[in-house]
């Protein structure tokens, strides 16, 4: 009895039969059969086929019966003998895979993140998309990924060091399947789009506190003075002339510094910083640009200014809300800057709002407003208002001058918190310089009014002193409006007043938005006081010693 392998015509027939068995089919088709294949299949089926037949269909049961009778081997044994491999039991294999997937998922649900919306959604997507099945096929699991996620966020730790500490292998997260799974998990956690390219992956890793490259991690700044070391001097010198700078995480690690500012403004888009540098130059308050997600370098710099009040803003999109919420949680001294529902509604809408919705812990109405409108608003559309805010803060520099020439207010006991001489003041005699200088030909003491006013949290003794001094003014042309005087016959105020100081809380202008109570100085029209801006602010002051 000839073995089937002795006839070369069986190879394609049996290969097709094996595929049919594996996919659970009952029949197979041989297209464009050769003369040998046609004759063999006629022998199996007992049905004649013309020589020009295009396709011959045959039942697997007929093949099995034929080989059993003719050769003493069933179809499976014959396939194994001819092709060298037995048909796979796909159904049994699928059952085994399902069990393995369930085991992997159960293990993943032991993660500390289980129960978080992002984590459970990520795990569900990985299951339904076949990701867990592919892991089983590759002989992998989620153990390393879950271990890494449970150790995050890190504290600006180099990626190889993190991988060694957590997984025992410096290259465990360098590339490959484990890295791609980590990226997809971090994208779900952060609300970002899954990264494409090295730069996007670096942003995502730095968001989680892991630094793949401390030279590539950078932060863009304008007018952020600092103390300590070479980098601190660079920043201070650049701030003196209003030049933007890029600082790397590597530099911040090699030359630690302390940010020397009471306030830090944080913006997302470089266009805001570029325009602030052009319009305000050295008078712009300290401004940090994150260029999207804050880098490890940005966080390191912000941490170096831990006594500064941070005014934070992002784009009005779901990712921007998540970034801002994370920043407010990370930095206790941070407050939103122009991130209210009112700011959103007052700005012209932009592109379609995409992505998963984000909560807004600082303004319950903002999420509803964005969902209803369905449009994102990029930071650039708020450019005029943001620059106006920064310009208002730039006017604070003039107050350094005023406080230096007000001995009548008995300010010798007090000083500005974080006080520095303004860059608008020359050493001796005290005069304005730059664009304001041309208005004054004599020492400033002879031409500018005295100033009264306080900031939030100020010593009550000084507050009372300034208000009382303002009410009793008899040698300067300035009056103070505060609470109505209880004295029915207060001392008369000498006309004409040069300026009026009043509470910001009572003013129509929303200058209390930065979280500090300010008094406004509003010089009236006329030659008595000429300057670039009509509003000056009195910053917070503290008792010396």
Q: Which pLDDT tens digit goes with each residue over 188-227?
A: 998 888 888 787 888 889 889 898 888 888 999 999 999 9
123 pLDDT tier (thresholds 50, 70, 90): very high
With vertex at residue 241, the alpha carbon angle to CA 389 and CA 252, rounded to the nearest 5 degrees, is 90
- pLDDT surpassing 60 at residue 522: no
Judge whether residue 318 has pLDDT over 90. Answer: yes
pLDDT greater than 90 at residue 264:
yes
Q: How many domains does the chain have?
A: 4
Per-residue model confidence (pLDDT) at position 6:
62
The average pLDDT across 317-328 equals: 94
The whole-number pLDDT of residue 436 equals: 28
Report pLDDT for 416: 31
Residue 92 in tokens: 């049994």
User: What is the band of 4 on the pLDDT scale with cuts at 50, 70, 90?
Assistant: low
- Residues of 102-139 as b/e, b for ≥16 C-beta within 10 angstroms? eebeeebeebebeeeebbeebbeebbeeebbbebbeee
Cβ atoms within 10 Å of 384's Cβ, excluding its own? 9
Conformational region of residue 433, where left means phi above 0, alpha means psi within -120 to 50, and beta covers everything else:
beta
Helices within 255-314 (DSSP H only)? 270-280, 296-303
Question: Is 349 in the same domain as 464?
Answer: no
Does residue 297 share a domain with residue 177?
no
The model's confidence at residue 500, banded by pLDDT at 50, 70 and 90, is: very low
More confident residue, 411 or 119: 119
Cα-based distances in Å from 245 to 240, 248, 416: 12, 10, 28
Residues 447 and 309 in one domain: no
Inform me whether the pLDDT recorded for 373 exceeds 90: yes
What pLDDT score does 82 carry?
A: 83
Tokens representing residue 268 in the block: 């997302």
Q: List the single range of 72-86, 140-154, 407-421 with lowest mean pLDDT.
A: 407-421
The mean per-residue pLDDT over the stretch 393-399 comes to 51
Residues 148 and 205 in one domain: yes
More confident residue, 19 or 452: 19
Distance separating alpha carbons of residues 319 and 298, to the nearest angstrom: 18
Please give the Cα distance from 79 to 22 (Å, whole number).
Answer: 12
Q: Are residues 344 and 474 in the same domain?
A: no
* Domain-terminating residue out of 168, 187, 211: 211
DSSP labels for 36-87?
A: HHHHHHHHHH-----TT-SEEEEEHHHHHHHHHHHHS--HHHHHHHHHSSPP
Judged against a pLDDT cut of 70, whether residue 381 lies above it is answered with: yes
Both 251 and 378 in one domain: the answer is: yes
Average pLDDT of the residues in 527-531: 32
Select the highest-mean-pLDDT range: 87-91, 409-413, 445-449, 475-479.
87-91
Give the side-chain half-sphere CA count within 13 A for 371. Answer: 10
- pLDDT beyond 50 at 510: no
With a cut of 50, say whether residue 343 has pLDDT above it.
Answer: yes
What mean pLDDT comes out for the span 150-172? 91
Please give the Cα distance from 218 to 203 (Å, whole number): 10
| Alpha-helical runs (H) found in 304-442 | 318-330, 341-345, 364-373, 383-394, 396-404
Tell me: do 384 and 357 sit in the same domain.
yes
Q: Please state, in angstroms and as integers, the Cα–Cα distance from residue 209 to each residue in 158, 326, 404, following that order.
A: 9, 13, 44
Chain mean pLDDT for the chain: 74
The reported pLDDT for the residue numbered 5 is 58
In the Cβ-directed half-sphere of 448, how many Cα atoms lie within 13 Å?
Answer: 29
| Co-location of 405 and 374 in the same domain | no
Helical segments of 109-142, H only: 117-128, 131-137
* CB count in 10 Å sphere of residue 330: 15
Whether residue 34 is found in the same domain as residue 157: no
Lowest mean pLDDT among 54-63, 262-271, 350-359, 526-535: 526-535
- Distance, CA of 108 to CA of 126 (rounded, Å): 11
Last residue of a domain, one of 211, 244, 279: 211
Q: Do 96 and 47 sit in the same domain of this protein?
A: no
Cα-to-chain-centroid distance, residue 210 = 14
* Dist. CA 56–CA 39, nearest whole Å: 11
Pair 243, 354 in one domain:
yes
279 contacts 300 by C-beta, under 8 angstroms? no
**Minimal CA–CA distance to 283: which of 403, 401, 419, 424?**
424
- According to the model, what pLDDT value does residue 135 have? 87
- The residue-averaged pLDDT of 289-293 equals 93
Kindly state the tokens that stand for 202: 């670096």
pLDDT exceeding 90 applies to what percent of the chain? Answer: 38
Other Cβ atoms within 10 Å of 223 Cβ, number: 30
What does residue 500 show for φ and ψ, rounded to 5 degrees?
-125, 130
In which domain, by residue range, is 126 found?
91-211
Band (pLDDT 50/70/90 cuts) for residue 85 is: confident
Residue range 274-286: average pLDDT?
Answer: 92
The residue from 155, 184, 211 where one domain ends is 211
Both 145 and 41 in one domain: the answer is no
pLDDT of residue 164: 93
User: What pLDDT does 370 receive?
Assistant: 96
Residue-by-residue DSSP string for 148-193:
HHHT-S-SSEEHHHHHHHHHS-TTTTTSHHHHHHHHHHHHHHHTPP
CATH code, domain with 297: 3.40.1360.10
Report pLDDT for 355.
83
Helices (H), 243-382: 249-254, 270-280, 296-303, 318-330, 341-345, 364-373
């Amino acid at each position: 009895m000839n073995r089937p392998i002795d006839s070369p015509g069986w190879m394609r027939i049996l290969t097709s039969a094996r595929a049919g068995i594996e996919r659970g089919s009952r029949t197979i088709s041989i297209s464009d059969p050769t003369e040998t294949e046609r004759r063999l299949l006629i022998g199996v089926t007992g049905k004649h086929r013309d020589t020009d037949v295009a396709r011959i269909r045959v039942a697997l049961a007929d093949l099995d019966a034929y080989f059993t009778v003719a050769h003493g081997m069933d179809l499976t044994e014959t396939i194994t003998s001819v092709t060298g491999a037995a048909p796979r039991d796909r159904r049994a294999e699928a059952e085994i895979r399902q069990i393995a997937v369930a085991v992997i998922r159960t293990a993943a649900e032991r993660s500390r993140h289980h129960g978080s919306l992002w984590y459970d959604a990520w795990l569900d997507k990985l299951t339904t998309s076949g990701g867990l099945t592919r892991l089983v096929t590759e002989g992998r699991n989620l153990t390393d990924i879950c271990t890494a996620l449970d150790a995050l966020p890190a504290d600006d730790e180099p990626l190889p060091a993190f991988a060694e500490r957590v997984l025992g292998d410096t290259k465990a997260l360098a590339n490959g399947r484990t890295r791609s799974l980590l990226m997809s998990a971090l994208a779900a956690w952060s609300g970002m789009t899954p990264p494409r390219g090295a730069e996007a992956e670096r942003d995502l890793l730095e968001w989680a506190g892991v630094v793949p490259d401390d030279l590539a991690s950078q932060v863009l700044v304008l007018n952020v003075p600092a103390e300590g070391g070479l980098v601190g001097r660079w920043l201070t010198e650049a701030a003196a002339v209003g030049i933007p700078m890029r600082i790397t995480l590597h530099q911040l690690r090699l030359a630690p510094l302390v940010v020397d500012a009471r306030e830090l403004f944080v913006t997302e888009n470089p266009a805001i910083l570029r325009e602030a540098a052009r319009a305000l130059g050295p008078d712009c308050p300290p401004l940090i640009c994150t260029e999207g997600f804050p880098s490890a370098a940005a966080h390191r710099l912000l941490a170096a200014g831990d006594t500064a009040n941070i005014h934070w803003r992002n784009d009005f999109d779901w990712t921007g809300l998540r970034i801002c919420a994370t920043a407010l949680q990370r930095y206790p001294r941070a407050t939103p800057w122009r991130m209210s529902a009112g700011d959103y509604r007052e700005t012209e809408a932009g592109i379609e709002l995409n992505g998963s919705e984000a909560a807004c812990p600082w303004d319950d109405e903002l999420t509803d407003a964005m969902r209803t409108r369905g449009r994102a608003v990029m930071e650039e559309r708020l450019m005029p208002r943001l620059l106006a805010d920064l310009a208002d803060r730039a006017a604070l520099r003039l107050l350094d001058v005023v406080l230096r020439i007000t001995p009548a207010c008995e300010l010798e006991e007090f000083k500005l918190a974080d006080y520095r001489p303004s860059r608008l003041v020359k050493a001796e005699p005290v005069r304005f310089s730059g664009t304001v200088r041309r208005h004054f030909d004599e020492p400033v003491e002879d031409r500018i009014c005295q100033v009264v006013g306080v900031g939030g949290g100020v010593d009550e003794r000084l507050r009372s002193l300034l208000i009382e001094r303002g009410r009793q003014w008899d040698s300067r042309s300035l009056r103070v409006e505060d609470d109505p005087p209880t004295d029915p016959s207060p001392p008369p105020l000498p006309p004409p007043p040069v300026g009026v100081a009043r509470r910001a809380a009572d003013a129509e202008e929303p200058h209390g938005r930065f979280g500090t109570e300010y008094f406004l100085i509003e010089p009236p029209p006329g030659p008595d006081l000429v300057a670039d801006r009509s509003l000056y602010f009195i910053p917070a002051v503290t008792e010396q010693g």
